[in-house]
Amino acid sequence: MMPKAPSKNKRAELRNRARMLVSCPDRPGIVAAVSRFLHEHGANIIQSDQYTMDPEGGLFFIRIEFDLPELESRLAQLSADFSLVASEFEMEWNINLASRKKRLALFASKEDHCLLELLWQWQSGDLDAEIVMVVANHDDLRGVVEPLGIPYHYVPVTPDTKAEAERRHLELLQAAGVDVVVLARYMQIISPRFIEHYPNRIINIHHSFLPAFVGGKPYQQAYNRGVKIIGATAHYVTEELDGGPIIEQDVQRVSHRDNVEDLKRIGRYIERTVLARAIHWHVEDRVIVHQNKTVVFN
């Protein structure tokens, strides 16, 4: 089953739509300046969400969706013109075409639940992205992936071959023009060198409610501690193990009757839904990273 194609009306709707993300020091006039700029360039604002972090001398964040006729051919000039506004307000910003689907590489090991959730959402047309490859350090999931027409790259990893494996990974990603790397229960630590190539574009699912139970065997850790709630965390990958900016989390109650295998079973559901939500928000340009936090316009 191949992914469903969007309707003609949906494609037409997105053809001239863009998403603007802005963060800057808070001060009066920011919204007015951005709105005036878009109006003067003939754009129609479809949606606008904003947030001020610490109104007293803090930071301002805004996400705007807008339509502009002949957008693709005008985007370069629009961006050049907006740089003047951005400079005045000390903005960090980007403008992304809604019609350009982000290209995802899914990394997996042996467990399939997070991978299957993303593949299912892609097949159903609910995930607005292109899955261009699956990379795995085990060959177990090939039979799930290849029938969908998605390339499956088996790259074994051992302590002695880790550097060579990551070199191969980067070759594959760069050749395919990958935008986002998704660690769908990929049970390997990513090196700083790899992370440098995809800052805030590697998303991991950690099977605990961070910052609790960082590292390996979090369900065993949770069981040993006798917790009454377990959870999962989707976050951007940084050099700090399981310490990157958090995008989404969720929890579920457990009891003393649940053993480690019960916690894992319950956790699999939380993991796949949390990761899927985080991927949706990232590919729809709903996440702004500030230091080690995120603002998510969901």
Active site residue 242: yes
**Do the Cβ atoms of 201 and 181 come closer than 8 Å?**
yes
Sheet of 202-206: strand order equals 152-154, 129-136, 102-108, 180-183, 202-206, 229-236, 246-253
* 157 Cβ contact list (under 8 Å, min separation 6): 137, 165, 188
Q: Of the candidates 64, 66, 63, 62, which has an alpha carbon nearest to the alpha carbon of residue 26?
A: 62
Strand boundaries in the chain, DSSP class E:
17-25, 44-53, 59-67, 92-97, 102-108, 129-136, 152-154, 180-183, 202-206, 229-236, 246-253, 287-290, 293-296
Q: Are strands 17-25 and 59-67 parallel, antiparallel or unpaired?
A: antiparallel
- The DSSP symbol for 179 reads -
Phi, psi (5° rounding) for residue 265?
-65, -45
Q: For strand 129-136 and strand 152-154, is the pairing parallel, antiparallel, or unpaired? A: parallel
Q: Which residues 6+ apart lie within 8 Å of 87 measured at CB?
A: none
Burial of 58: CB neighbours in 10 Å, binned 0-12, 13-18, 19+: exposed
CA 276 to chain CA mean position, Å: 9
The amino acid at 286: R
- CA pair distance 33, 13, nearest whole angstrom: 26
Of 165, 170, 167, 163, the C-alpha closest to 154 is 165
Choose, from 67, 179, 242, 285, the residue flagged as catalytic.
242
Catalytic residues: 242
